[in-house]
């Protein structure tokens, strides 16, 4: 996780202290404490006619690998809204939330700690088109989908396959 050198509020040099049993950066001038939390993301298992929508990632980590659409929750939106927005941005597809599959913790070499809320989305019919952060997109028969390249995605996908049986 990245640290600040100077206080983002008053530009005083930050110190290190133990706050609530954790080492944190603090500003002794304005009392700012640099609390660090996992980043919230959502992940879409978009299903249509026994197929699931996969994207070829256009950004790190795992650039070039086929996996599920995902992205960061923006301010002011719910996890469900975030998931449907990322789906539309990356694949041009729309749908409705069918199931909350689970909420997972992961560590990303690029972003640090992440919380991934993973939904089963029932897709409305349409032709997927690769958009933001996706190099390509396709609907893949569920029984042909193997490694999704992120542990949480694989765990959620196994659970999804049990739910839809």
Under the binding rule (CB under 5 A), the answer on residue 84 touching Zn ion is no
Per CB under 5 A, does 12 bind Zn ion? yes
b/e per residue 118-152 (b: at least 16 CB within 10 A): bbbbebeeeebebbebbeebebeeeeebeebebeb
Answer yes or no whether residue 129 interacts with Zn ion by CB under 5 A.
no
Q: Give the span between the Cα atoms of 70 and 50, in whole angstroms.
A: 20
Convert residues 44-73 into a mask of x (bound to Zn ion by CB under 5 A) and - (unbound).
------------------------------
Nearest to 87 by CA among 104, 64, 71: 71
When asked if residue 9 is in the footprint of Zn ion (CB under 5 A), the reply is yes
Residue from 24, 32, 85, 92 in contact with Zn ion (CB under 5 A): 32
Q: How far is the CB of 19 from Zn ion (least distance, A)?
A: 15
How many residues contact Zn ion, by CB under 5 A? Answer: 8
């Amino acid at each position: 996780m990245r640290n600040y050198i100077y206080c983002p509020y008053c530009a005083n040099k930050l110190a290190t202290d133990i706050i609530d049993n954790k080492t944190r950066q603090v500003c002794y001038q304005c009392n700012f404490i640099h609390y660090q939390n996992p980043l919230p993301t959502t992940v879409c298992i978009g299903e249509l006619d026994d197929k699931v929508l996969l994207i070829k990632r256009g950004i790190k980590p795992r650039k070039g690998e086929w996996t599920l659409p995902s992205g960061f929750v923006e301010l002011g939106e719910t996890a469900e809204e975030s998931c449907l927005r990322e789906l539309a941005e990356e694949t041009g597809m729309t749908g409705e939330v069918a199931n909350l599959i689970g909420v997972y913790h992961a560590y990303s070499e690029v972003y640090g700690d992440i919380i991934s809320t993973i939904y089963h989305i029932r897709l409305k019919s349409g032709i997927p088109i690769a958009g933001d952060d996706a190099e390509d997109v396709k609907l893949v028969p569920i029984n042909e989908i193997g490694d999704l390249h992120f542990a949480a995605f694989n765990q959620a996908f196994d659970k999804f396959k049990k739910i839809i049986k």
